[in-house]
Amino acid sequence: MLLCPVRDCQQPLHREDRRWLCPRSHSFDIARSGYVNLLQPQDRRSKNPGDTAEAVAARRRLHHSGVTAPLLHAIGSLLAPASHDTVLDAGCGDGFYLGSLSLLHGFQATGIDISIPAIDLAARRYPHCHWLVANADRVIPCVGESFSKILSITARMNPPEFRRVLRPGGQLLVAIPSPIDLIELRGPSRDRVGRTIQSFAPLFTLQHQQRATTTAPLDAGAVRDLQHATYRPLQSQPAEAMQVTFSLDLLLFATAP
């Protein structure tokens, strides 16, 4: 299912003990926690791309507190995965959504993120899933038509690559922050639904659209975690206890005929 990420190679990878190997002998070791790093130098803009270990840990604490459970339920209900599905989460972060849903439904799961701290934490928490360090904004290092469903949750989107690795008749669930997401901290934001639908229109057909919203009382520590886990401009603001709104616009697409 995996492809060699080395430039001008893209040969299938096969597992050999604790590494993945291609026919041209490009080799990728499996980390102790279980993930494989396929990120190439040309696919990153910094030495340590993606979320920091501090941001990942802050987001994990928020998820474990239960404040995002209603969003997880809404995503799972709309995606409606079955045990026979193969699901990709592109930009999976610490793996909360993919890992939790795979435990509930028993499907085969693969998560990709550019952040090594995020993928390492995901691999330790959800060892039953497959975890890859890669830049899905550029290339998803997987064979075409590998997945029956794809998740893209508050992450960058790559419509051509999503379509390439999605099977005919497959589904794509895109979750974007709604205009009222974290409104108490950053005020209202622009509605991104129309632009997102337009960007996927050449390759996908919109099947369903809904908004998932929940509010939760957060103490000062949780607000500080939220500031560090989401919007970087919020990190300089003082943290104090408050009621916070979490809201996602969910768009379910199918492959265009």
Q: Which tens digit of pLDDT belongs to each residue from 128-149?
A: 999 999 999 999 999 999 999 9
The predicted structure's pLDDT at residue 186: 85
Q: Are residues 86 and 67 in the same domain?
A: yes
Residues 8 and 87 in one domain: no
The CATH number linked to 159 is 3.40.50.150
Cβ neighbourhood burial of 137 (10 Å; 0-12, 13-18, 19+) = middle
Which tokens sit at 175?
A: 């979750």
Q: What is the DSSP string of 102-128?
A: HHHH--EEEEEES-HHHHHHHHHH-TT
Q: Convert 161-200 into a string of H (helix), E (strand) and C (coil).
A: HHHHHEEEEEEEEEEEECCCCCHHHHCCCCCCHHHHHHHH
Quote the CA–CA distance of 155 and 135 in Å, as a whole number. 12
**Residue 17 shares a structural domain with residue 143:** no
1 and 110 in a single domain? The answer is no
Query: Are 3 and 44 within one domain?
Result: no
170-223 pLDDT tens trace:
999 999 999 999 999 888 889 999 999 999 999 999 999 999 999 999 999 999
Structure tokens at 210: 């809904």
Are residue 151 and residue 184 in the same domain, yes or no? yes
The whole-model pTM stands at 0.94
Structural domain that includes position 10: 1-30
Question: Same domain for 185 and 61?
Answer: yes
Q: H or E segment at 96?
A: helix 96-105
On whether both 234 and 115 belong to a single domain, the answer is yes
Same structural domain for residues 181 and 75?
yes
Identify whether residues 16 and 131 lie together within a single domain: no
Total structural domains within the chain: 2
Position 238 scores a pLDDT of 72
Shared-domain flag, residues 26 and 74: no
Both 79 and 115 in a single domain?
A: yes
73's enclosing H/E stretch is helix 69-79
